[in-house]
Amino acid sequence: MEKLEKLTFDVCTLARSIGDFLRSERKGFSQSRVKIKGLNNFVSDVDKNAEQQIVASLRKMLPEAGFIAEEGTATCSNERYRWVVDPLDGTTNFIHGLPPYAVSIALMDGEEVILGVVHEAVANECFYAWKGSKSFLNGHEIHVSEIATVESALVATGFPYYNFEKIQRYMNSLAFFMQRSHGMRRLGSAATDLAYVACGRFEAFYEYSLQPWDVAAGSLIVKQAGGKISDFSGGNAYIFGQELVSTNAKIYEEFLEIVRKHF
């Protein structure tokens, strides 16, 4: 565990340096540097450069590990350990000069996430946890909120930007939470949403069409902060299953039942 703790701190240092790089690149950033990967799905030279830096550093830290990386800088081939990397979660925010945007780095041992770091670059906030630890924000222990009902909860979500198969069910869920909670927020960075559940700023977060690099790190941070994570059915297929519910410990059953009814 001591080795895992040290590795986590090394990843935090790396994530902070990439956050500095992102903020520096944002100054004078131009739309000409943006390319379209798909419908409403963007990438810039900043994403790719940041990922290359991350992969190079992580390879030195754990040479035997493979990679699941959003921009495809490196891949995995049945390695026991896999880094799951999003160099810039919230690219659309970044290219428009809007916070938040984050660096998300997780380490998986088989199918289990054992290390997670989410560094929100604009606020310079580094959230992290490792297997068996508490969760932390810039060195201070964090915990999910104590709110006990959905009615008193602040709920975060992410809008689908290319998969609109469930759009009507999703809109119905939005209408429900708008009327029966403290409100809805859409920040544009799933990694940040999860970190904010972990530190009690949100009571719940749900979204579909998510990718492993969006949620792997944040999911561990939520769990180690006392929160709950599942797919929309209450199962464990939230890393690769493209759907996720995350809440504090007290509203999980109520919140999940509402999501189940709508989806």
Residues 196 and 234 in one domain: yes
pLDDT at 41: 63
Q: Per the structure, how many domains does the chain have?
A: 2
Residues 127 and 232 in one domain: no
Q: What is the pLDDT of residues 89-117, one digit of tens each?
A: 999 999 999 999 999 999 999 999 999 99
Residues 102 and 161 in one domain: no
pTM: 0.95
Residues 8 and 128 in one domain: yes
The Cα–Cα gap between 50 and 205 comes to 27
| CATH number for the domain that contains residue 156 | 3.40.190.80
Residues 7 and 134 in one domain: yes
Residue 103 has a CB neighbour count (10 Å cut-off) of 30
Domain boundary among 142, 166, 184: 142
Which structural domain range is residue 90 located in?
Answer: 2-142
Q: Is the pLDDT of residue 239 over 90?
A: yes
Residue 72 has a CB neighbour count (10 Å cut-off) of 10
| CATH number for the domain that contains residue 136 | 3.30.540.10
The Cα–Cα gap between 126 and 34 comes to 26
Q: Is the pLDDT of residue 66 over 80?
A: yes
Residues 99 and 184 in one domain: no
The Cα–Cα gap between 5 and 117 comes to 12
Residues 253 and 154 in one domain: yes
Helices (H) and strands (E) in the chain, counts: 7, 14
Residues 135 and 218 in one domain: no
Residues 136 and 164 in one domain: no
b/e code 236-251 from CB counts within 10 Å (16+ = b): eebbebbbbbbbbebb
